[in-house]
Structure 1
Amino acid sequence: MDIELFVNITSRAWALPILSKLHEGIAARQAPLLAATGASRTAFSQSMDHLVKMGLVERNPGYGHPLRPEFRLTAQGIAAAAIASKIQSVPVEEGRELLRRSWTLPVLTSLYAPSHFNQIKRNLRSITDRALSQSLKAMESRQWVCRSVDQDARPPRSIYRAVNTGAVISKITAPEIRFE
């Protein structure tokens, strides 16, 4: 999967949980998916519309009730759902909401190897300095990312690396995502 597609998927808070539940075989109608994810109706609806527009999920044409639509994964959605399921299976004590933030997963993916701030930014072309900084600080406070200073460099530069839960997630996503 391309990094831009991954960034687009993770831009909606409930997109990965929905894909994960579809991959697990939860009934693909709205009510069971809504209950399984725990999302609000509005957030769920927006995330589902986003996934449909991206071509990862489609309405089941063989299921004709307009008020209770049934959804299914497309070919591209099957691959994305497999990654989402792996991510959602990681035991996260109290940081589940951190996974629903827009830039958490793409930043962790780019931290497959220790990186400087600008290296991360180059990997994630559409991220702003502020968004990257906030994301790194949020993950650092949860001890998913460790920041150290390279004193040998002139001027000294920060090096970020994924640790603990962040490292587990990074090891899951990094082999699946292409940075090009």
Structure 2
Amino acid sequence: MADFKIPGSDSGPPPLAMLFHHRWAAPALEETLRQGGGARVATLAARLRAPRASVVRAVEGLTALGLIQPNPGHGHPLRPEFILTEAGARAAAGCAAYLRAAAWLNVEDLALRKWTAAAATELRAGGRRFTELRSGLLVVTDRALATTLRDLGEAGLVDRRVEDSAAAPVAVEYTLTRPGARLASTAKDVREALAA
């Protein structure tokens, strides 16, 4: 996987956030695996029922991450075929399981948002406070994390518990629900595939 860093820092965005930066990246990986490890942009756009321009951006992102590459021995210059790399094949298998779990939980749209998988994976360690989650995700903005946690809560994947105390500020802890743990487990598998 390509090594991305935050300028002036030793760390970069979590691999899951980089993968899900483009909404169609994980579905494109899964579909490429389903098609035998190779696909064209037009075919992916048609099969995913996605805008071609969005699929092009996802393919460019996947190429930058080292998960797919142009097929060196096949294709027309105007209609190139892309194939999975070794890392891409591992990630695609994980994405397939993640997307199946999301479909089973009826949270497909939420599952494909940039910070959903990364936040759910961070919560696998147990209850976490907002600042702990933000520290674990490195580059997430407060607004993006708050929106992600709110959406995960509304979908029944995360519980938000306010600790009963007179102390200020109020302590809020976020934990995965049972369905959230199922989705987080498959997201963890994708993260491990990206790290391998």
TM-score normalized with structure 1 length: 0.88
- Partner of residue 4, structure 2: none
Q: How does 1:10-25 map to 2 (within 5 A)?
A: 10-25=20-35
**1:37-78 deviation digits (Å, cap 9, x = unpaired):** 221111111111111122111010111311221111112212
- Partner of residue 111, structure 2: 99
- Share of identical aligned residues, percent? 30
RMSD, matched Cα: 2.4
Moved over 3 A (4+): 152-156, 175-178
Residue 94 of structure 2 corresponds to residue 61 of structure 1: no
Change (3 A) 1:114 1:29: same
Question: Larger deviation: 110-119 or 22-31?
Answer: 22-31
What letter matches 1:50 in structure 2? G
Residue 123 of structure 2 corresponds to residue 111 of structure 1: yes
For the Cα contact (< 8 Å) 1:24–1:85, is it kept in 2?
no
Residue 85 of structure 2 corresponds to residue 74 of structure 1: yes
Q: How does 1:1-180 map to 2 (within 5 A)?
A: 4-25=14-35, 28-90=39-101, 91-92=103-104, 94-112=106-124, 113-151=126-164, 154-155=167-168, 156-174=170-188, 177=191
Change (3 A) 1:71 1:175: closer
For the Cα contact (< 8 Å) 1:92–1:165, is it kept in 2?
no
Deviation at 1:31, TM superposition (A): 2.7
Deviation at 1:163, TM superposition (A): 1.7
For the Cα contact (< 8 Å) 1:144–1:164, is it kept in 2?
yes
For the Cα contact (< 8 Å) 1:110–1:174, is it kept in 2?
no
- Greater strand proportion: 2
For the Cα contact (< 8 Å) 1:143–1:164, is it kept in 2?
no
SS at match of 2:90: helix
SS at match of 1:172: helix
Structure 1 unaligned residues grouped into runs of 5+: none
Q: Quick one: distance in 2 between partners of 1:30 and 1:73?
A: 13
